[in-house]
Amino acid sequence: MQPSSAAPAVARTGLWLLPLHALLLALGTLTHQPDPATRFDAYARYVTTAPFLAGHLGASIAGAALGALGAVALAVVVRGARPAVLAVATLVAGNVVTAAVFGAAAFAQPAIGRAHLRGVAEAPAIDADVYGPALVSTALVGVLLLLVGSVALGVAVARAGLRAAGVVYAVAMVGFLAVGFVVHPVQPVSAVVAAGAAVVIALRLARPR
């Protein structure tokens, strides 16, 4: 499926949201919070910083919105090819679901951290309650949707004539989502690789044919 020469200019421009989203992912994962189970005091100090809040509001929540819009733009450019439609559906759903998790991190964690630093003894228990089975299950569903969406987006790009860029993007995003949450240094590296592939995608598909 070749990209449409009649794709609106706004859709072709919207393709640049894909590398922007990946770069925001890289910036948002340069550092990671200390383990609250073993270093709660350090955790409390980390989550009460301005960069922590800015990272979640900007890189995670706003970045997710930009990534979803980028997927929509891709679907328009490739004339609604089936993998692109699947990518839009799953990426939008995944970003909406994970936004709930990022929202909890952005607002609940700083409040819990400040409470701990003020001497509230129950703060660790409250944090564990927030990050209980319900939130963990929500996060897992969101990540699964994002995995499916990232692979579908890569397939859509490959079918549009950019096989290498599509494969690299999909593999990098799978590395970010699946491997990166276990091996944290993988996340920013994978995100930068995905951003590079997305730049190629935007350069090639944004040109009217």
Query: pLDDT tens, 87-123?
Result: 999 999 999 999 999 999 999 999 999 999 999 999 9
- pTM exceeds 0.85: yes
Domain count, the chain: 1
Q: Does a structural domain hold residue 123?
A: yes
Instruction: Encode pLDDT of 155-190 as tens digits.
Output: 999 999 999 999 999 999 999 999 877 888 899 999
pLDDT at 208: 62
Query: What gap in Å lies between CA 5 and CA 12, rounded to an integer?
Result: 10
Rounded CA-CA distance 127/93 in Å is 26
Structure letter (DSSP) for residue 161: T
Looking at this protein, which amino acid is placed at residue 63? G
Q: Is residue 132 part of a domain?
A: yes
At residue 206 the predicted structure's pLDDT band, cuts being 50, 70 and 90, is confident
The residue among 195, 188, 198, 191 whose CA lies nearest residue 165 is: 198
- What is residue 182's predicted lDDT score, i.e. its pLDDT? 83
Is residue 38 included in any domain, yes or no?
A: yes
Q: Tell me, yes or no, whether 178 lies in a domain.
A: yes
21 found inside a domain:
yes
Domain that includes residue 190, residue range: 9-205
Taking Cα atoms as reference points, which of 60, 67, 71, 26 lies closest to residue 176?
A: 26
Rounded CA separation 58/122 (Å): 30
198 falls within a domain = yes
